[in-house]
A and B are shown apart, each in its own frame.
Chain A
């Protein structure tokens, strides 16, 4: 079947620290992979995407590489800011969208 597994949060970091949020998936076929971000009280916003193996999605300093051999799509950022505090969702799409459980990130000044 199709599913997404994310690391459990919350993740608490100091400003300017390096961020990694792990995401692995299982899928039938060839999925597209996405990271979404949700700020408190809001809907989800697309952060980045990758549609095939070895593609790297990037946006606002965040990056994730589609790794077919490890079925992973880990989210990274070199230097986080307080404004990055939010919940991050990894997702895949094949015949429909499947979301991970979300990882809450808290960045302290």
Chain B
């Protein structure tokens, strides 16, 4: 159980275009989902917390107009990278916790999306 599905697994886009990444909880409802960015050989950087039915909470330094997050249902959150540039190339990973916002529960991660902007 507790499977998080993320699509696409990799995407190449041209500079200036937008890319949407989907994150779905397949067998549980996720009130809250999290979006991370991972640079090569580095840890995960939390970008934003996605809350179902309300606005996302962005971490300091993350541009909310560039990284649009929508959490329209209890099983789906999307991250749209708008007007992508080569510096946005990275590995993006979503995660979700089961149940409520209890932080004793482990996060379950999608398999990540490798974004390359040319």
The judgment on whether A and B are partners is yes
With A41-B112, A43-B109 known to touch, is A93 a contact of B103 (CB < 8 Å)? yes
Q: Is chain B's binding surface mostly helix, strand, loop or mixed?
A: strand
Given the complex, which residues of A lie within 8 Å of B34, measured CB to CB? 97
Residues on the A chain within 8 Å of B42, using CB: 101-102
Q: How many residues of B contact A (CB 8 A)?
A: 21
Interface-located stretch among A16-24, A45-53, A72-80: A45-53
CA distance A58 to B34 in the complex (A): 26
Considering only residues 81-107 of chain A, those with a C-beta below 8 Å from chain B are 89, 93-97, 99-102, 104
Query: B112 touching A43 by the CB < 8 A rule?
Result: yes
Residues of A within 8 A of B43 (CB): 89, 99-102
Q: How big is the A interface, by class?
A: 20 to 34
Q: Which of B41, B44, B49, B110 contacts A89 (CB 8 A)?
A: B44
Name which residue of chain B comes closest to A93, CB basis: B103
A51 CB to closest chain B CB (Å) equals: 5
Chain A interface main SS type: strand
A-B contact pairs, 12 of them (CB 8 A): A41-B114, A43-B110, A43-B112, A44-B93, A44-B109, A46-B106, A49-B106, A96-B46, A100-B43, A101-B43, A102-B43, A104-B41
Contacts A44-B109, A89-B44 aside, 18 further interface pairs with beta carbons under 8 A come to A32-B103, A36-B109, A41-B114, A42-B111, A43-B4, A43-B93, A43-B109, A43-B111, A44-B107, A46-B106, A93-B104, A94-B103, A96-B49, A96-B103, A97-B34, A97-B103, A99-B43, A104-B41
